[in-house]
Amino acid sequence: MALPDSVVAYLEQSETKLAAYPKLLRMFKNCYPNTLETTTKWLADETVFVITGDIPAMWLRDSSAQVRHYLPLAAEDKQLQVLLAGLIRRQMNYIQLDPYANAFNEEANDNRYDQDLTELDPWVWERKYEIDSLCYPIQLAYLYWKATGLTHVFDESFRSAVHTIIALWKTEQRHAEQSPYRFARIDCPPSDTLRNNRMGMPVNYTGMTWSGFRPSDDACTFGYLIPANMFAVVALRYIEEIASAVWNDEEVVRLAAELREEIDFGIQAYGTYLHPKYGKIYAYETDGFGNYNLMDDANVPSLLSIPYLGYSSFEDPIYRNTRNFVLSSDNPYYYEGNYARGIGSPHTPAGYIWPISLAMQALTSKDEAEVHEVLKMLMETDADTGYMHEGFNPDNPAEYTRPWFAWANSLFGELIHRLMRRGYFD
């Protein structure tokens, strides 16, 4: 699609701001508009369909993250406002269609990743239930409101989706007893399917809400995914504010506040771990029975991204301890090589680092030297393509996964945008 005027103007401004950094300028001018240039499609019903890149489906998570960096320009750009609102409306339609699905087709064409053992629908590309799939569209709509002052996206469809999300999260607080969700994939790695008769491993009641899969689309080891529950707390805060300020609906305020308090209590009571080296940290996953998965994954929501999500600040001592842990070799998915060091994922080959995690490290850093180091690593590991990838070999960045991964391009664009706005390159 043609770029909105505000995006064109901002790219022109970047030529001055980044004049002393020619490679960074080239990468920014490639990555910042990438979502609009290559993944965005207006549909006949005036909604917007956004593919993730090299896969012809729309993820609720990715499509939200792919456009977040345009929000600061939306206040003065009517075309961006209409586009973002069209995406939000399509997301709400999908959530009401199947709130357990993570990725959808442009039309009811029965395209899908695999013939999974779950409730299939011709609209659904994949039905891996992930908490963050429901958080991201709520966050996008809230941030759209704050950026533009417009409330028209909070229509009856949005209100219906909110009720669906709250009801689902309450059901999944007692997954074994109440959940209708089942999922299995045949002839696949263990990370692509759920154990225990398609239900996932047993969990104890904690107040948190259960997730089958991580934002990487890999199966959870233990069903309470801590960073995803943190994101749910943030999304419920947004719902409370929307229900109060826009709808004047005290019942929704009450429902969201009660659920938020229960999930947050569960995080603090069951989701922390006293580490002998780092002190009190947040676990990545737990089952409520005293078992913990101590790690972090590049995909967001992650433990590294806690301040970016808005759950707590960088100054939170538990976050600081957790950050020290996840950015160390004690995190099983932290890797180092000749060109980079950072967090990867079991979703990609062992040793591969993700540009998403590097960008997130800089976005959540208070250390200018750390930001400088991350920028250097990002510039040295694009394999001279001018774009971000999913994961790369830090000893040989020419070996990478997914040459077209719009989420990573957008997050890199957001990082450079933020640094330019605060005068980092002046």
Q: Classify the phi-psi angles of 412: left when phi > 0, otherwise alpha if psi is within -120 to 50, otherwise beta.
A: alpha
Whether residue 2 is predicted with pLDDT greater than 90 in this model: the reply is no
Whether residue 209 contacts residue 172, with contact meaning beta carbons closer than 8 Å, is answered with yes
pLDDT above 80: residue 419: yes
Condensed to tens digits (0 to 9), the pLDDT of residues 333-352 reads 999 999 999 999 999 999 99
CA–CA gap between residue 264 and residue 267 (Å, rounded): 5
**Residue for token pair 């806690």:** 306
Q: To the nearest whole number, what is the mean pLDDT of the chain?
A: 97
For residues 233-262, average pLDDT: 98
Residue 251: how many other CB atoms lie within 10 Å: 10
C-beta of residue 195 within 8 angstroms of C-beta of residue 201: yes
Distance CA 14, CA 7 (A): 11
Instruction: Please write the tens of the pLDDT for every residue from 265-274.
Output: 999 999 999 9
Q: Which 3-state string (H, E, C) describes 44-96?
A: CCCCEEECCECCCCEEHHHHHHHHHHHHHHHCCCHHHHHHHHHHHHHHHHHHH
198: left (phi over 0), alpha (psi -120 to 50) or beta: left
Which residue, 149, 158, 69, 64, is CA-closest to 103? 64
Reported as a single tens digit per residue, the pLDDT across 75-96 is: 999 999 999 999 999 999 999 9
Would you state the structure tokens that stand for residue 13, as one six-digit string? 């401004």
In this predicted structure, what is the pLDDT of residue 81? 98
pLDDT(98) > 80: yes
CATH topology of domain 55-332: Glycosyltransferase (1.50.10)
Among the listed residues 108, 129, 109, the one whose alpha carbon sits nearest the alpha carbon of residue 118? 129
Q: How large is the average pLDDT for residues 399-419?
A: 97
**Ranges of H-type helices in 310-390:** 317-326, 355-363, 368-380
Residue range 292-297: average pLDDT?
A: 98
Residue type for position 229: N
What is the pLDDT at residue 1?
77
Measured distance CA(95)–CA(164) in Å, rounded: 8
Mean pLDDT, range 283-302, rounded to an integer: 98
Q: State how far the Cα of 359 lies from the Cα of 355, in Å rounded to an integer.
A: 6
CA 269 from chain centre, in angstroms, equals: 24
Please say whether the beta carbons of 40 and 382 come within 8 A. Answer: no
Cβ atoms 132, 61 nearer than 8 A: yes
- Calculate mean pLDDT across residues 286-313: 98
Pair 179, 98: CB distance under 8 Å? no
If you compute the radius of gyration of the chain from its CA atoms, what whole number of angstroms results? 20
Domain ranges of the chain: 10-42+334-426, 55-332
Residues in the chain: 426
Copy the structure tokens of residue 154: 């909070």
The yes-or-no verdict on residue 194 having pLDDT over 90 is yes
CA distance 95 to 104: 10
Question: pLDDT of 116-130, one tens digit each?
Answer: 999 999 999 999 999
pLDDT for res 254: 98
Residue in 242, 227, 234 with CA at minimum distance from that of residue 298: 227
Preceding omega of 301 cis (within 30 degrees of 0) = yes
Please state the pTM of the whole predicted model: 0.98
pLDDT digits (tens, 9 = 90+) for 32-60: 999 999 999 999 999 999 999 999 999 99
By CB atoms closer than 10 A (0-12, 13-18, 19+), residue 79 is middle
Amino acid at 308: Y
Asked if residue 298 has pLDDT above 90, the reply is yes
DSSP state of 213: B
Whether the predicted pLDDT of 171 surpasses 90: yes
